Amino acid sequence: MAQQGKKDRTVATHAGSHPHEHQGVVNPPVYRASTVLFRSVQDLRERYRHKYETVTYGRDGTQTHRLLAEAFTALEGSERAIILPSGVAAVSTALLISLSPGDSLLMVDSAYEPTREICDGLLARIGVETTYYDPMIGAGIAGLIRPNTKAIYLESPGSLTFETQDIPAIVAAARQAGCRTILDNTWATPLFFKPPAHGIDIGVYSASKYIGGHSDMMMGILTCPAALHKTAAKMAHGYIGHAVSADDAYNALRGMRTLHARLVQHQETALILARWLADRPEVEQVLHPALPGTPGHEFWRRDYTGASGLFAVVLKPCKPEQVERMLDSMRLFGMGYSWGGFESLMIRADLKTCRTAKPWHAVGRTLRIHAGLEDPEDLIADLEDGLARYRGE
Ligand SMILES: Cc1ncc(COP(=O)(O)O)c(C=O)c1O
């Protein structure tokens, strides 16, 4: 079904759906494959001419992966999407196709920690130098761009500290200097921010989060213009050998159908919890892009159309045992990395060790919270009891 001019909810519900190509069945079949057969030498030649656009071998994906890419690009706005086995695979593929030995990268200081590890480990090993920059640098990024700077990487909001970046100012400076921009847009999803509409060249997503939405699969998605598609697909599937199961691609496409409904609820519950926590005497600061006072809130208001369910709380200075007492007995908030599933989560975040451009300012301990789909009243009751344990009651 053509999606032009339709609203996001409609696109997320119908994009990549072609029931009458599959005997009227609403959802597409799961095409599992390693081997793909060709009718003739001519057919083989023709399909290989359009390798990565057609189906030629299981590692590059089957029709199930193509339909997920079709749905995702319809919602996000990029010309192409590549389906990868994890968000980290999307991050490393985006960096590897943008940088060569001798090049330099500008990386936001608030980036997801494994993204920093790719820079400090893998990229350093192949002779790519990384300079970390203050997430609030805005147009000042121009002062850091050198002749060999080939890419600027953004993660907005930062997934631990939630600064929203001035994306248009950074994109303008990058364009002026001829640098590529890469944005980790996992937090906002294409529903709340569309990278290509803001001039970003490559979007990276951990689809293990809201796209899958059920804490039961790993996936990454890289979005890019058509001109970069072959290079990115060759790097991902051809050189690194990334392959994704068709069952996971199917689950991600199914996740997209409920993305809007889930995100509206995650957004509402997260705001209820964030506002409740902001009024607590134990709390120094709530870091939520939609709350005034969080760095970059004005950019969130200007550029984003919504907020998802992940935010953080900085506690007043306290003893580590107080936080441990709280976390150890939460009933509804599970303690685990990742986020974006249906369930609520809460985890300690140590920010002092993962900042180099600008030391992390807060003295208190930080908790990262994911607001799930439970009733907010039950979640607040769980938080209330947790804070009582924190106080030693
Ligand atoms: C912002 C962000 N980007 C990327 C990733 C990596 O995704 P994955 O765990 O699917 O490799 C994560 C995972 O937590 C993340 O939070």
Per the annotation, the verdict on 132 as an active-site residue is no
| Among 159, 210, 248, 369, residue to substitute to test ligand 1 (most atoms within 8 Å of Cβ) | 159
Residue the block writes with tokens 């598609």: 229
Nearest CA residue ID for atom 9, ligand 1 = 87
> Is residue 2 included in any domain, yes or no?
no
Query: Could you tell me if 304 and 318 lie in one domain?
Result: yes
Q: What is the pLDDT of residue 159?
A: 85
Q: Give the type of residue at 250.
A: Y
Q: What is the pLDDT of residue 361?
A: 77
End-to-end CA distance of the chain: 59
Cα torsion angle, 249, 339, 184, 149, sign: negative
Confidence band for 353, pLDDT divided at 50, 70 and 90? confident
Confidence band for 49, pLDDT divided at 50, 70 and 90? very high
| Among 163, 182, 186, residue to substitute to test ligand 1 (most atoms within 8 Å of Cβ) | 186
All residues at 6 or more sequence positions from 41 whose CB lies less than 8 Å from its CB, including other chains: none
| Among 112, 164, 215, 223, residue to substitute to test ligand 1 (most atoms within 8 Å of Cβ) | 112
Query: Could you tell me if 90 and 36 lie in one domain?
Result: yes
DSSP line for 165-197: P-HHHHHHHHHHHT-EEEEE-TTTHHHH--GGG
Query: Could you tell me if 306 and 239 lie in one domain?
Result: no
Q: How far apart are CA 155 and CA 340, in angstroms?
A: 16
> For residue 51, how far is its CA from the centre of ligand 1 (angstroms)?
28
> Is residue 105 included in any domain, yes or no?
yes
Query: Could you tell me if 164 and 274 lie in one domain?
Result: no
Query: Could you tell me if 227 and 374 lie in one domain?
Result: no
Nearest CA residue ID for atom 13, ligand 1 = 338
Query: Could you tell me if 108 and 238 lie in one domain?
Result: yes
User: What are the φ/ψ torsions at residue 188 (nearest 5 degrees)?
Assistant: -80, -30
How many helices (H) and strands (E) would you count in the chain? 14, 11
Nearest CA residue ID for atom 14, ligand 1 = 338
| pLDDT tens track for 199-221 | 999 999 999 999 999 999 999 99
All residues at 6 or more sequence positions from 49 whose CB lies less than 8 Å from its CB, including other chains: none
**Which of 246, 263, 161, 159 minimizes the C-alpha distance to 206?**
159
CA distances from 308 to 76, 253, 263, 327, 360 (A): 16, 19, 6, 23, 23
Edge-first strand order for the sheet with 310-315 is 283-287, 310-315, 366-370, 345-349
Single out the residue in 206, 235, 257 at which a domain terminates: 257
Domain CATH code at residue 267 = 3.90.1150.10
Q: Does residue 344 register a pLDDT over 80?
A: yes
Domain tally, the chain: 2
| pLDDT tens track for 76-115 | 999 999 999 999 999 999 999 999 999 999 999 999 999 9
CB of 212 closer than 8 Å to CB of 251: yes
CA distances from 301 to 135, 296, 369 (A): 17, 9, 21
Query: Could you tell me if 207 and 347 lie in one domain?
Result: no
Other residues' Cβ atoms within 10 Å of the Cβ of residue 120: 14
Q: Does residue 2 register a pLDDT over 70?
A: no
Give the position, in ligand 1's atom list, of the atom nearest the Cα of 187: 1
Cα torsion angle, 160, 311, 251, 66, sign: negative
> Is residue 294 included in any domain, yes or no?
yes
Query: Could you tell me if 133 and 30 lie in one domain?
Result: yes
Residue of 134, 184, 303, 382 with catalytic role = 184
Q: What is the pLDDT of residue 350?
A: 78
Beta strand 220-224 with 310-315: parallel, antiparallel or unpaired? Answer: unpaired
Per the annotation, the verdict on 57 as an active-site residue is no
Single out the residue in 257, 288, 318 at which a domain terminates: 257
Task: Residue 230: give the domain boundaries.
Answer: 8-257
Give the position, in ligand 1's atom list, of the atom nearest the Cα of 337: 14
User: Which residues approach ligand 1 with their CB closer than 6 A?
Assistant: 86-88, 112, 155, 159, 184, 186, 206, 208, 218, 220, 338
Q: Does residue 1 register a pLDDT over 60?
A: no
> For residue 209, how far is its CA from the centre of ligand 1 (angstroms)?
8
Question: Where is 260: in which H helix or E strand?
Answer: helix 259-278
Helix axes 320-328, 376-391, angle to 10 degrees: 140
Domain CATH code at residue 79 = 3.40.640.10
> Is residue 1 included in any domain, yes or no?
no
Per the annotation, the verdict on 59 as an active-site residue is yes
> Is residue 224 included in any domain, yes or no?
yes
Residue of 31, 60, 103, 112 with catalytic role = 112
All residues at 6 or more sequence positions from 97 whose CB lies less than 8 Å from its CB, including other chains: 228, 231, 232, 235
> For residue 202, how far is its CA from the centre of ligand 1 (angstroms)?
16
- Token pair of 92, please? 């490393």
- Token pair of 203, please? 């979007």
Query: Could you tell me if 236 and 295 lie in one domain?
Result: no
| Percentage above 70 pLDDT, the chain | 99
Query: Could you tell me if 224 and 272 lie in one domain?
Result: no
- Token pair of 37, please? 């057969």
Residue the block writes with tokens 């994109």: 171
Per the annotation, the verdict on 350 as an active-site residue is no
Q: What is the pLDDT of residue 140?
A: 98
Query: Could you tell me if 109 and 224 lie in one domain?
Result: yes
> Is residue 246 included in any domain, yes or no?
yes
CA distances from 294 to 11, 139, 183, 285, 289 (A): 31, 19, 20, 9, 6
Nearest CA residue ID for atom 7, ligand 1 = 87
Single out the residue in 210, 237, 257 at which a domain terminates: 257
Query: Could you tell me if 49 and 178 lie in one domain?
Result: yes
Q: What is the mean pLDDT of residues 114-126?
A: 97
- Token pair of 253, please? 């496409």
Residue of 116, 150, 180, 209 with catalytic role = 209
SS3 23: coil
> Is residue 3 included in any domain, yes or no?
no
> For residue 294, how far is its CA from the centre of ligand 1 (angstroms)?
22
> Is residue 129 included in any domain, yes or no?
yes
